Chain A
Amino acid sequence: MSTRNTRNRPSKPTKGRNRPASPKRPTTGRRRGAAAGRRRGRSPLQLWGPIVLLVVAVAAGIALQSARSHPQASVAVPAHALGPNGGELLGRPSAPVLVEEYGDFQCPVCGQWERTVGPTVRRLVDQGRIRFAYHPIAFIGPESLAAANAAEAAGDEGRFWAYHDLLFADQAPENSGALTTDRLLELGRQVGLTSPRFQQRVRDGTYDNWVRQATDQASQRGVNATPTVFVNGRQADGALTAQGLLTAVNAAAAGGI
Chain B
Amino acid sequence: MEDMDQVLGEPTRLGGPAPEWRPWAATAARLLLAAVWAWAAVAKISDPDAAVRAVRAYQLLPEALVRPVAWGLPFAELALALLLAVGLATRLAAAGSAGLLGLFMVAIAAAWARGLQIHCGCFGGGGPAAGVQARDYLGELVRDTGLLAVAVLLAWQPHSRLAPGRRLSSEEP
Contact = CB atoms under 8 A, between A and B. Distances in A.
Contact of B89 (A5, A19, A50): A50
Interface stretch (B10-18, B138-146, B147-155): B10-18
A18 B71 contact: no
B123 interface: no
A64 B78 CA distance: 14
A225 interface: yes
A25 B9 contact: yes
Contact of B172 (A4, A22, A50, A65): A22
B3, B4, B9 pick with most chain A CB within 10 angstroms: B9
Interface stretch (A51-59, A128-136, A155-163, A248-256): A51-59
Contact of A61 (B5, B72, B92): B72
B52 interface: yes
26 contacts: A15-B172, A18-B10, A22-B173, A24-B173, A32-B11, A33-B170, A37-B170, A40-B173, A46-B89, A49-B89, A54-B76, A54-B80, A57-B78, A62-B68, A62-B71, A62-B72, A65-B51, A65-B70, A66-B48, A66-B67, A109-B130, A139-B53, A139-B128, A216-B53, A220-B63, A224-B127
Interface residues of A, number: 56
Given A17-B9, A109-B130, A224-B118, A219 B53 contact: yes
A69 to B, nearest CB: 5
B93 A50 contact: yes
Interface residues of B, number: 54
Given A50-B83, A59-B72, A31 B96 contact: no
B5 A15 contact: no
B59 to A, nearest CB: 8
Given A17-B172, A49-B89, A219-B57, A61 B3 contact: no
A19 B80 CA distance: 35
Given A25-B172, A53-B83, A69-B48, A20 B5 contact: yes
Interface string B48-78: 1111110011010001000110111111101
Nearest to A67: B48
B89 A224 contact: no
A31 B8 CA distance: 7
A226 B128 contact: yes
